[in-house]
A and B are shown apart, each in its own frame.
Chain A
Amino acid sequence: MKIKSLTGVIVSLLITVPLTDTLPIKVNAQEYTVDEVNSLIDGIVDYKLTSSGAADIQDWINGSLTEGAGTTSEWYVISLSQNYQADFSSYENALSSYLASDEGSSAASMEKYALALSAAGSSNSYMEDILDDSIGQQGIMSYIYGLHVLNNGYTCPDYSTGSVVDKLMSMQYDDGGWALFGEYGDIDVTAMTILALSPYYSEPDVHDSIDRAVTFLSERQQDNGGYQSFGTPNPESASQVLAAVSAIGIDGIHDERFIKNGCNLIDGIVAYRLPDGSYSHTLGGDTNDTATVQALYSFIAYKRMTEGRSPIFVFDNRQPVSVNAEQSESHSSSSQNNADEKTSATANEKLTDASAASATAASTTVTSSKTTAITTAALHVTAFTSETVSVPTASTIITTAVTTTHYSKKVTSSHEKKPGYKPYIIAAIGGAAVILSLILFLLKKRNLRNYLFILLCAGAGIAVVMLTDIRSADDYYNGNIVHKDNSVGTVSLEIRCDTIVGKSDSEYIPDDGTILEVTDFEIEEGETVFDILNEAAQTYGIHVENKGSSAHGMVYIAGINYIYEYDFGDLSGWVYHVNGITPSRNCGEYVLSDGDEIQWLYTCELGHDLNEVY
C-alpha cells in the first residue's frame, strides 16, 4: 500500500512539474497589430480610470492626477500627453504650486518635474531654472534626465547637449551597457541611456556607442522575450528596452535582434498582464504601479514609432522653442513633415504588412527626433518612489522589498530630522526642578546650597537627555532607503550565520544562514562599518544590539537578529570582514571606502571557523 501511494505521489509530481514548469513560459508569440497595441494601451487607461473612479481621461487628469501632482502623477501625465488630446492645465497648476513650495527634491526628481511640466504644455521657467543645479548632481540618472530636458529644447548656461552626451558616452562600460555602479551594465540604466542619447544617433560616435548598447541588450533578452534585473524576471526592464529601441527606430516586435524563441519584447511585457489590464512586477504577483505605468509608456513609445512621431519624451504638443544651433543644423522641418505623411498612411495597416514602411518611418523618426528627442527612461526607480534615483535601481529595491517583507521601501534624504521630544523632556526636567525648589522654599529649607544642588541635578539630567538619541520604533525602523546628498560611493553589506545553521531550532536562524543578502548602501565621507550596520538595521528592520560608545569608536556588536554572543559557546559572537579580510579594528573605527564589501558573520570558535585573512 505504502509503495503504491508513494508511486502515486511521484507520478503525480512528475505530471505536475512539467505542467507548472511550462505554464509560465508558454510560448505565446504574437504578431501584434497597431490595434492590439492600442487595446493594450486602452486596457491600462481603463484600469486606471476604474481604480481612480474617473469617467474619462479628462476627468482622471482633473481628479486624481491633479491630486497626485508632484508625487505619483508625473509619468502618467507624460504618457497621456503623448497619446491623447487633453487639457492638462489643472495638473499643471497643481504641480506648479507644489514646486513653488518644494525644497530639497533630488536632482533627478527636479528633472522629472521639468519633463512633466513640459508635457503638460507649461510655459513655466522651472525647466530652465533647475538644469544647472541638477545635471550631474546625482550620478548618471541626473545626466540622463537632464539630457531629456535639454533635448526638449531648453537651455542652460553650464551644460549643452553636446557636453552631456559626451559625459554619458564616457560612462559606458566595456560590455556596452551603463549602470549606476559596479563594472557591468544594467538593463534598465542602459535602456534609459539609449533613450536619452537617441536624438544623436546619426552622429558617428554616438551611433557606434548605441549600437554596442543595443547588442548588449539583445544578448541579455530572455527566452520569453522579457528581461531580468538583479536575478528577478520583471516587465519593467523589458518596457525600458522597448521604449529605448523604439526611439532609435528598431521595431521591438519584428526586429530579429529582439525576438528570442519566437517571443518579442511585447510578449515579454504582456506575460505580466493581469486580467484587469494592469501589470505585476513578478509572475503571479499583484498589480504594481511601476510596472503598469512603464508598460503604458513603452506601448505608447512603440505606437509613436510606428506612426513616425517623436519618441516618448519628446513632447510634440508643446510650442517649439528655439533650438540650439548645433542640433538644428542637420535637419529641416520638411523632413519631419514627410515622415508624418508617409507614416500616417501606413499607420492603420497591419504592422506585419507595414514593416517596410515602418522601417522608413523609423529612420525618419531618428532624424526628426534629432531636434527634440526624448524618450522613455528611468521611471523604473523614480515612478516607484516618486522621489529620487540614486539607489541600487528599482529592481533591487523591489527584490529586497519582496524578500525582507513588511517594510515598504521609500527613499529619503539622509538629513531628515524631526523636531523631537527633547525640548519637552528638558522642559519637564526644568519644571520639576522649579517645583522642587518651591517645595523646599515652603518647607523653610532655604539654604542657597539646596538650590545649587537642584540646579546641578537638573543640569546633569539635561546633559544626559542631550546626549541620548531617543526615537520611536516606527521612526527608527522606517524602512527608508537613505539617500545621501554627498555620497562618496557605494558599499555592500551582507549578514550571515552559516556556522550555526541547524544547531538550534530558533526561528531567527534562517535555513540558508542569510540574515541580510548582499545589499548596497551609499556611504558618506567618514562613515564606518558600524554606521552602515545601523543603517541596514533601520532600513530592513533587523535587530542589532551594540555595547559601548560609538562616539569614541569603541563599540561592540553583542547581537544581531536576536542571535547573541555566547549563545553557541564561550567563543561565539559576531565578527565582520571587509573585502574578505578580517580587520583588527573596531567596527566603529573602520572607515569605509567606495566598493567595500562588508560581511557580518557569526562565529562559534572566535573566528577560526570562518575563512579569516589578516
Chain B
Amino acid sequence: MISFSNLNPAVITVWFLSVSAIAMFCNHPVITVLTTAGSVLFYIIRNKGGHFRSHLFFLLLFLILSLANPIVSHNGATVLFVMNDNPVTLESLLYGINSSAMIVGVLYLLRSFTQIMTSEKLLYVTGRLSPKLSMILSMAIRFVPLFSKQGQKVNDTQKVLGLYKDDNFIDDIKGRLRVFSIVSTWGLENGIITADSMEARGYGTGRRTQMTRFGFTFSDASVLAASLTLTALCAAAIAAGKIAFTFYPKPEAADCGILGIVGFAAYAMLVFMPLFIETEVKLRWNYLMSKM
C-alpha cells in the first residue's frame, strides 16, 4: 500500500468529496465529531504538529461561530436568558457548537486537500472535463497561500519604509488595512496576468498532457472501492432516516437501529481511512529503516 497522498488524484478527490458531502449534509453530532476529530488528526499528523497559529485561528473561529448562533437564532425550549424579548436558548447554542465544529472540521479537511492536491493533480482531475474550470479552480486554490505570502512581503516592505511605529496599534491596524488594499489590487491584477500568460502559452487549445504519470494501481482501486462502499452505506442510513438529529425545539436523535450503527461505523472508517493508510505506511517505513 502506498501513502494516501500518493494515490491517484481521482481517488483522493472522490474520498474528499464524499467525506465533506456527508459532513456538510448531515448535522448529526456523532457525524460532526467524527469529521472534526478525523480531519484535525489527519492535518496534525501530516504536518507533525506544526502551524500553531492556524490552530489558534480555528479555535477562535470555532468559539465565535458557536456563540454567534444563539444570538441570531432563538428557537429552542430551554431558555437560558432573554435578550431584547428574544429567548437565548441552550438548543441554539448546541446547534451553534455542532455546526461550527462541522465548519472547522471541513476547513481542516480542505487544508489537507490543498496540501495534497497540488495544482498539477487538480489539473489532472478536472482538466479533461473543462480546461477553463480547472484553471479557475487551481488558481482559486492557489490564491489564499499566494495572497498571504504576498501580504507578508508587502508588510515587510512597509516596515522597512518606516510606515508604522510599534508602540501604537491604531497605526498597526491602519497599516494592515493598507497592506490588504495593496494585496487585493495586486491579486486582481495577478489573476488577469496569469490568465493572459496561460493563454499566450496556448493553454486549453489542445488535449492536456501531464508531466507526472498518475497510474491506477491495485491500491487505488481498493481505496476507491472502499470509499464508495462506505459512502453508500452511510448515505443509505441517512436516506433511511436512521442518522437524523433535530435540535429544535428539543435536541432529539432519531432511533438509529442497526442500519444507523452500520452507517456510523462506515463513516468512521471512511474518515479515518487515510489516517490508517498514512500510519501503516509510516510504520512500515520506520520498520524498513530500522533494518538498514
A interface residue numbers (CB < 8 A to B): 444-447, 449-450, 452-453, 468-473, 475-477, 508, 534, 537, 543-546, 550, 558-559, 562, 564
Binds A, one of B111-119, B124-132, B163-171, B207-215: B163-171
Q: Mark B60-87, 1 if CB is under 8 A from A, else 0.
A: 0000000000000011110111111111
Contact, CB under 8 Å: B81 / A473: yes
- Give the contacting residue for B170; candidates A446, A449, A469, A472; CB below 8 A: A449
Contact B85 A473 (CB under 8 A): no
Q: Which B residues lie within 8 Å of A468 (CB)?
A: 83-84
Complex Cα gap A534–B85 (Å) = 7
Known: A473-B79, A559-B75, A564-B75. A450 touches B84 (CB 8 A): no
Q: How far, in angstroms, from A537 to B87 measured CA to CA in the complex?
A: 10
Note all chain A residues with C-beta closer than 8 A to B203.
none
- CB neighbours (8 Å) of A445 from chain B are 166-169
Task: Check B170 against A453 for contact (C-beta < 8 Å).
Answer: yes
User: Which residues of chain A come closer than 8 Å to B241, judged between CB atoms?
Assistant: none
8 pairs of residues in contact across A and B, judged by CB atoms under 8 Å: A450-B168, A453-B169, A476-B82, A534-B85, A543-B75, A546-B86, A562-B76, A562-B248
Min CB distance B174 to A, Å, is 10
* Docked-complex contact B77 and A447, CB < 8 angstroms: no
B83 & A477 in contact (Cβ 8 Å cutoff): no
Q: CB of B249 within 8 A of chain A? A: yes
- In Å, the complex CA distance between A453 and B169 comes to 9
Give complex CA distance A543, B79 in Å.
9
Considering the chains assembled together, what is the distance between the CA atoms of A544 and B82 in angstroms? 11
Interchain CB contact under 8 A, B77 and A562? yes
Is there an interface contact between B168 and A471, defined as CB atoms closer than 8 Å? no
B79 engages A545 (CB within 8 Å): no
A562 to B168, CA, bound (A): 49
- Binary flags per residue of B128-172, CB closer than 8 Å to A gives 1, else 0: 000000000000000000000000000000000000011111110
Q: How far is the CB of A476 from chain B (nearest CB, A)?
A: 4
Which chain B residues numbered 70 to 109 have a C-beta less than 8 Å away from chain A?
Answer: 74-77, 79-87
Nearest opposing residue in chain B for A445, CB measure? B167
B78: shortest Cβ distance to chain A, in Å? 8
A176 to B258, CA, bound (A): 71
Whether the pair B81, A472 counts as a contact (CB closer than 8 A) is: yes
Contacts of A550 in B (CB 8 A): 84-85
Complexed CA–CA distance, A316 and B174 (Å): 86
Closest to B91 in A: A562
Using known A-B contacts A450-B170, A562-B77, determine if residue A470 contacts B85 with beta carbons closer than 8 Å.
Answer: no
Question: Are B82's CB and A472's CB within 8 A?
Answer: yes
Q: Tell me the nearest residue of chain A to B74, going by C-beta.
A: A545
Would A447 and B82 be within 8 Å (CB), given that A543-B87, A545-B74, A562-B77 are in contact? no
Majority secondary structure, A binding face? mixed
Instruction: Please name all residues of chain B whose beta carbon is closer than 8 Å to the beta carbon of A508 when the two chains form the complex.
Output: 249
Q: Cα distance A449–B168 when bound, in Å?
A: 7
Task: Give the residues in chain B near A470, CB-CB below 8 Å.
Answer: 81-83
Q: Are A447 and B168 in contact (CB under 8 A)?
A: yes
A479–chain B nearest beta-carbon distance, Å? 13
B82–A450 touching, CB < 8 Å? no
Instruction: Flag if A473 contacts B80 (CB, 8 Å).
Output: yes
Give the complex CA separation of A545 and B79 in angstroms: 12
Q: B81 to chain A: which residues have CB within 8 Å? A: 470-473, 476
How distant is A567 from chain B, measured CB to nearest CB, in Å?
Answer: 10
- Residues on B with C-beta less than 8 A from A537 are 85
List the A residue with the shortest CB-CB distance to B92.
A545
How far is A450 from B85 in the complex, measured between Cα atoms in Å? 36
- Could you say which of B79, B80, B87, B169 contacts A450, with CB atoms under 8 Å apart? B169
Residues of A with C-beta under 8 A to B167: 444-447, 450
| Neighbouring A residues of B75 by C-beta, 8 Å | 543, 545, 559, 562, 564
In the assembled complex, which residues on chain A have CB atoms less than 8 Å from the CB atom of B86? 545-546
Write the chain B residue with the least CB distance to A454.
Answer: B169
How far apart are the CA atoms of A545 and B85 in the complex, in Å? 8
B249 touches A562 (CB 8 A): yes
B97 to chain A, nearest CB (A): 20
Which 5 pairs show the lowest CB-CB distances between chains A and B?
A447-B168, A476-B82, A473-B79, A562-B249, A545-B74
In whole angstroms, what is the CA distance A260 to B17 when docked? Answer: 80
A425 nearest CB across to chain B (Å): 12
Docked-complex contact A471 and B82, CB < 8 angstroms = yes
In whole angstroms, how far apart are the Cα atoms of A473 and B74 in the complex?
A: 13
Are A546 and B80 touching (Cβ within 8 A)? no
Is A543 a contact partner of B77 (Cβ separation < 8 A)?
A: yes
Considering the chains assembled together, what is the distance between the CA atoms of A451 and B63 in angstroms? 27
Q: Which residues of A contact B248 (CB under 8 A)?
A: 562
Residue of chain B at shortest CB distance from A473: B79
Say whether A546 contacts B85, CB under 8 Å: yes
Inter-chain contacts of A449 with B (CB < 8 A): 168, 170-171
**Given A545-B87, A546-B85, A562-B248; A477-B79 close (CB under 8 Å):** yes
Q: A452-B170, A476-B79, A544-B85 given. 12 additional CB < 8 A pairs?
A: A446-B167, A447-B168, A449-B171, A450-B167, A453-B170, A468-B84, A469-B83, A470-B83, A473-B80, A545-B75, A545-B86, A564-B75
The residue on A at minimum CB distance from B248 is: A562
Report the separation of the CA atoms of residues A446 and B249 in the bound assembly, to the nearest whole angstrom: 51
Q: B166, B170, B248: which has the most chain A beta carbons within 10 Å?
A: B170
CA–CA, A550 to B167, complex, Å? 43
A544 to B166 Cα, complex, angstroms: 50
One digit per residue, 1 when the CB lies within 8 angstroms of any chain A CB and 0 when it does not, for chain B 221-251 equals: 0000000000000000000000000001100
> Contact flags (1/0) for B193-212 with A, using CB distance below 8 Å?
00000000000000000000
Contacts of B77 in A (CB 8 A): 543, 562
B169: which A residues are within 8 A, CB to CB?
Answer: 445, 450, 453
Cβ contact within 8 Å between B165 and A447: yes
Residue of B nearest to A467 (CB): B84
Tell me, in angstroms, the Cα distance from A543 to B73 when the chains sit together: 13
CA distance in complex: A477, B166 (Å): 52
Q: How far is the CA of A446 from the CA of B166 in the complex (A)?
A: 10
A448 to B, closest residue via Cβ: B168
| B74 partner residues in chain A, CB cutoff 8 A | 545, 558-559
Q: Please, which residues of chain B bring their CB within 8 A of the CB of A477?
A: 79, 82
A558 to B92, CA, bound (A): 15
A572, chain B: closest CB distance, angstroms: 15
Q: Which residue of A lies closest to B168 (CB)?
A: A447
| Set of chain A residues within 8 Å of B165, measured between Cβ atoms | 447
CB distance from A217 to the nearest CB of B (A): 43
B169 to chain A, nearest CB (A): 6
CB nearest neighbor in B for A541: B79
Please, which residues of chain A bring their CB within 8 A of the CB of B166? 445
Q: CA A444 – CA B169 in complex, angstroms?
A: 12
The interface residues of chain A lying within 8 Å CB-to-CB of B171 are: 449
- In the assembly, what is the distance between CA of A534 and CA of B74, in Å? 14
**Roughly how many angstroms separate A546 CA and B76 CA in the complex, as a whole number?**
14
> When the two chains form the complex, which single residue of B84, B87, B168 contacts A473, counting CB atoms closer than 8 Å?
B87
- Report the bound CA distance from A94 to B83 in whole Å: 40
A447, B171: Cα distance in complex, Å:
10
Nearest CB of B to A309, in Å:
54
- In the assembled complex, how far is the CB of residue A25 from the closest CB belonging to chain B, in whole angstroms? 40
A468 to B166, CA, bound (A): 36
Q: Which residues on B sit within 8 Å (CB–CB) of A453? A: 169-170
Nearest to B78 among chain A residues (CB) is: A473
- Contact partner of A543 (CB less than 8 A), chosen from B83, B84, B249, is B249
CA distance A93 to B81 in the complex (A): 42
With a CB–CB cut-off of 8 A, which chain B residues contact A534? Answer: 85
**Chain A residue with the shortest CB-CB distance to B166:** A445
Query: In the complex, A473→B76 CA distance in Å?
Result: 13
Q: Name the residue of chain A whose CB is nearest to the CB of B73.
A: A545
